Amino acid sequence: MLCLGIESTAHTFGVGVVDEMGNVLSNEKDVYKSKPGWGIIPMEAGKHHRKVADSVVKQSLDKAGVSMDDIDVVAYSRGPGLPPCLHAGLNKAVELTKFTGNLVGVNHCVAHIEIGRLTTGLKNPVVSYVSGGNTQIISFAEGRYRCFGETMDVGLGNALDKFGRAIGLDFPQAPKIEQLANNGKWVNLPYVVKGMDLSFSGIVTECIKRYEKGEKIENLCFSIQEVLFSMLVEVTERALAHLGKSEVLLTGGVAANKRLQEMYEVMCRERKAKFKVVPKEFAGDNGAMIAWAGILTYKSGQRINPKKADILPRWRTDEVEIGWIRKI
């Protein structure tokens, strides 16, 4: 069985082809880039996705060495995400169901978790899911991926990107912050953990103020990473201890950050927990993760009628029935 998955929740239009065994046959993408100084403009990102859709689908099929006639299921990112972007993916997916009647809608956050489990071999991890728009500490319990902690305002990637934008970097700003941080020194910043939840936006504002007052950008890049990552690791450690689990999976676009990986390695070593990071190719938004979650969704018996297919821009991770896991 082959599934073609379409990712289109935000900046990335991605198309992947994955088989039933979890082999990734292709994973192609085209990423919308906003103009310097701007964040994502949803309508423009949606327009970008519509424009590139056919060519990314074609590239993905070519790379996999298959045609639409070989595809058994089409999966799309049903949410959460930006409505104009989600619509672009939905429309392309529905159009492609003329080749195969089978359509499934996938939760984007669940797809980040499942591609992480597939590629790292972890079975029952506490998941640190850190991307542009989302930041959640998640683990499986009784049929769902439950959120044990999450951001109360922006996602971790967006927090870093927003600070980066204020100091004149181009999108994606966070990897550039990672480089600049190598030459920075610690400056004291607020640390905002409330129970199991996190708040990033006030810290970003504080960093912007310090920058305007003349603090060196390298020092701010170093310190914003130290403080935001420490908050995240603290909450993950508490979830790990409380749940009595012994694996940690780092997934989502920010998982590519070496300093964050290092902090998790130290915490997990001290706790004797296994720690794995999703491979870079699957860290940011991508079509293969939607295709793999599509296979799992389809095999668990869920389907969407193409005539009634919709988007769920605010669909939470913990609202999804995880029909493919009985017991782990």
Q: Among residues 18 and 256, whose Cβ is nearest to ligand AMP?
A: 256
Q: Check binding of 114 to Mg ion (CB under 5 A).
A: no
Q: Is 7 in the site for ligand AMP (CB under 6 A)?
A: no
CB of 21 closer than 8 Å to CB of 8 = no
Per-residue mark of binding to ligand AMP, 265-294 (x: CB under 6 A): -------------------xx---------
Distance CA 28, CA 63 (A): 8
* Residue 105 touches which of ligand AMP, Mg ion, none (Cβ within 5-8 Å per kind): none
* Subset of 157-186 contacting Mg ion (CB under 5 A): none
CA torsion sign for 254, 255, 257, 260 is: positive
Q: Residue 119 interacts with ligand AMP (CB under 6 A)?
A: no
C-alpha pair distances (Å), 85 with each of 49, 73, 103, 144, 274: 7, 21, 18, 26, 36
* 184 contributes a contact to ligand AMP by CB under 6 A: no
The whole-angstrom separation of Cα 76 and Cα 143 is 22
247 binds Mg ion (CB under 5 A): no
28 lines the binding site for ligand AMP (CB under 6 A):
no
Does residue 80 bind ligand AMP (CB under 6 A)?
no
Answer yes or no: are the C-beta atoms of 262 and 226 closer than 8 Å.
Answer: no
Query: What is the residue-wise DSSP string for 42-77?
Result: HHHHHHHHHHHHHHHHHHHHHHHT--GGG--EEEEE
Choose, by CB under 6 A, the member of 235, 254, 320, 322 that binds ligand AMP. Answer: 254
Which residue's CB is nearer to ligand AMP, number 157 or number 184? 157
206 near 89, Cβ under 8 Å?
Answer: no
Selection from Mg ion, ligand AMP, none that 160 binds (CB < 5 to 8 A by kind) is ligand AMP
**73 vs 248, beta carbon nearer ligand AMP:** 248
Please choose, out of 113-121, 202-210, 254-262, 310-318, the segment that lies near ligand AMP by the rule CB under 6 A: 254-262
Size of residue set near ligand AMP by CB under 6 A: 18
Using CB under 6 A as the binding rule, whether residue 174 contacts ligand AMP is answered as yes
Task: Locate 160 and state its tokens.
Answer: 């870093």
- Residues 282, 48, 159, 172: what is their CA dihedral angle, to the nearest 10 degrees? 70
Residue 131 near ligand AMP by CB under 6 A: yes
User: Helix 108-120 and helix 287-299: axis angle, to 10°?
Assistant: 90
Residues 278 to 297 in contact with Mg ion, rule: CB under 5 A: 285
Segment (H or E) for 6: strand 2-7
Residues 152-171 that bind ligand AMP (CB under 6 A): 157-158, 160-161
Residue 69 and residue 47: Cα distance in Å, rounded? 28
Which positions lie near Mg ion, rule CB under 5 A? 131, 285
Which positions lie near ligand AMP, rule CB under 6 A? 12, 131-132, 157-158, 160-161, 172, 174-175, 178, 252-254, 256-257, 284-285
